[in-house]
Structure 1
Amino acid sequence: MNVDRMQELVGQMRALAAEAAGKPSAGQGVAGGASSQQGDFAATLKTALDGINQQMQSADTMQQQFSAGQSNLSLSDVMLASQKASLSFQAALQVRNKLVSAYQDIMNIQA
């Protein structure tokens, strides 16, 4: 693969990441905004994982409360919360798998 094509692809990925974060992309150089983009990516990833963790804990709490016989919870609410948490976790696993695959591809290119 051509190095120019790889740099173009990295530039496109950075522009998309900046757009997703709500920041304007100002055509930064490769070394210009690397540390801030790494921090933004890490913060975004941590926020997403914290949200998934909170969903899973909430679903677990609802399951325990329903099992204890609290009358204000319906089975459909408990199952819906459980399925949302499960889908969020599965999506996070898919993202992790794609990131690992991309990392391996990059490492193979450099070798």
Structure 2
Amino acid sequence: MQAILSFLTEIFSQPAFLMGLIAFVGLVALRSPGNKLLTGTLKPILGYLMLSAGAGVIVANLNPLGGIIEAGFNIRGVIPNNEAIVSVAQKMLGVGNHEYFAVRLYFQPDYRPLYQV
């Protein structure tokens, strides 16, 4: 039982797989055909992975630039870049937040009638 819980925790702690699971559940609810289930699930997973990889490349390339500017112009500061901030936030906050939002969505009084059949 512990191995199953550990496996599920590893899967759900990856934001890309969680987005794919949400897309899959939505497509199943819409009763989409099998080919749409496959492509509709893989697209968010691959899109998120590509976005994360691109943000990582930008962050890796901008870090040395900060040192060069600091040494060359004798100034201190940061390079504002939304993708870099998103990448850092995803690495810091990506694990564990989905449980909080799922529980809050279920127990929030405004959304409770949606789950009662």
TM-score by length of 2: 0.43
TM-score by length of 1: 0.44
